[in-house]
Amino acid sequence: MRTIMSIIVFLTVTSVLLGVYHWSSYQDSTSEKNLAIDETVRVTESNETLMIEHQMDSLPKMQIPLSVPSQADDLSCLEEECQIENGELNVESPGAYTLEYQISKTTIVPSVYYINDWLVKLDPEQRDQKSRNFRMTLSGKKQGQWHSIRPPVLDSERNNIHYYEWQFEDSVEPPLIKLKEPLNYQERLNRLNIISNEPISQKKLQTLQKTFNQSHDQLLIVNSNLEKVITDHLVIVSNLNNSTEKMFESYLQSVSTNVERDQQVIQTLTDLYYKQDVDHPRVNALTETLTNEEQSRLFQRLMDLEMHQGSLIQLLDELLSDLLGYQTQFFELNHASESFISLFGEETRPLYINGEQVDYDLKRKDEQVYMKMNDFISVFDLYGFSIDQRHEWFVESDEKEYRFYSNRSVYMIDHTRFQVDQSAWFETDESFYVSISLLSEIFNRTFEENSEEIRLE
């Protein structure tokens, strides 16, 4: 009996110890994967640099990669229990730790310092930055004026120091902007921080509010003495005329993770929403395909995108596909092509030819279905070929000659010329797609479609 009791006690103690061990391991792994850390960044200005003390509270014992800006110099950890080696922060025991480094002050245009992407960060994949509390203070020289994408919660002068304090509650990485000549007027409009050298009327503020309401913070500086600037966080303009256009361009830059690659998309969307009578193929394709309501819905969805969300090319193709109800790669194809490619999508309904289901590449555009000309020639055993130099397709059928001119809205049957609208066909870099409805009419075929299938006889 005593032996049995001893075994029971032993098993119970072992189970408890194993449970504590696994719970401890779970807590450690959970904390490293979902770090929600309060941060305090103290910035001290000197003539050429900013000295940074970056304190992170409640760090667990861990080893985590660091993202270090290229302009950060002399990076170190002030406490003995943490070290930085090979791009990783090694914390030996839980607690608050402070990273110290310095950043060079750089000008973006004369009289304006712009310090962006300057914070050393823990690996974002292993921490929950959206729930963080971020406090930033700056002790600056009295000459000039510092700003960020939000107004400071504290702005005061102490002896020869101008002291600022900002508070952020999300994953924003605030830039620092210094104007050598201070501006006297400041307004806050939704998520837009406005600094100006003259008062801004309520009428202009209301116009800004109606026409542009972004989902994250930006800074607009209005000063006729400064050069124009458009970045992902900052816009400098001489006056408020067309400022919403510049803010929209800046906003799209802030969403993009590759502004240079996405520049074509940014310009197209800016032209679509903020410029009148723009005659450009990409803009025309959007205005001809999207209704006014769909254009408004697209704009609203753009305003809901997050900072640094991804490739604008991919994001816009996804938004367009959702609006149109079919898959399109409009921006991706035009980015990769030297010539313009129409806005079309993938046709997913099955195709039956002479009662048999076949697998051909079909497209959708303007509620029409399109087929490659060479596929149509092949499936109906016609004689035909393309003459690339003349942008012409030649087809022979029932002792008649047909000519289709891909760069014009024209085709010919023998010597008779026929005019068609611009939706009759389109080209990609590799193929010539023609409306199946038009082909069936020209070549006396029967074309039927419904929500389930497409038939061609």
Render 230-264 in DSSP notation, one character per residue: E-SSEEEESSSTTHHHHHHHHHHHHHBS-TTTTHH
The per-residue pLDDT for 168 is 85
d(CA 135, CA 455): 65
Distance of CA 149 to the CA centre of its chain: 19
373 close to 433: Cβ distance less than 8 angstroms: yes
Phi, psi dihedral angles at 132 (to 5 degrees): -80, 160
CB neighbours of residue 379 within 10 Å: 15
DSSP character at residue 145: E
- pLDDT tens, residue by residue, 355-371: 999 999 999 887 889 99
Q: What is the mean pLDDT of the chain?
A: 86
d(CA 413, CA 416): 5
pLDDT at 22 over 90: no
351 close to 438: Cβ distance less than 8 angstroms: no
- pLDDT tens, residue by residue, 74-103: 999 999 999 999 889 999 999 999 999 999
The per-residue pLDDT for 332 is 92
Sheet holding 121-122, edge to edge: 82-85, 88-91, 62-67, 121-122
d(CA 42, CA 78): 14
pLDDT at 4 over 70: no
Q: How confident is the model at residue 131 (pLDDT cuts 50, 70, 90)?
A: low
Q: How confident is the model at residue 24 (pLDDT cuts 50, 70, 90)?
A: very low
Angle (nearest 5°) at CA 299 between 331 and 313: 20
DSSP SS3 for 315: helix
Q: Report residue 5 as tokens.
A: 């009791």
Report which secondary-structure segment, H or E, holds 437.
helix 436-442
Model-wide pTM > 0.85 = no
Q: Report residue 35 as tokens.
A: 């770090």
Give residues with Cβ within 8 angstroms of 371, minimum separation 6. 360, 361, 362, 363, 433, 434, 436, 439
Shortest CA distance to 77 belongs to which of 69, 34, 88? Answer: 88
The strand pairing partners of 417, in sequence order, are 412
Report which secondary-structure segment, H or E, holds 333.
helix 330-336
Shortest CA distance to 217 belongs to which of 145, 156, 169, 154? Answer: 169
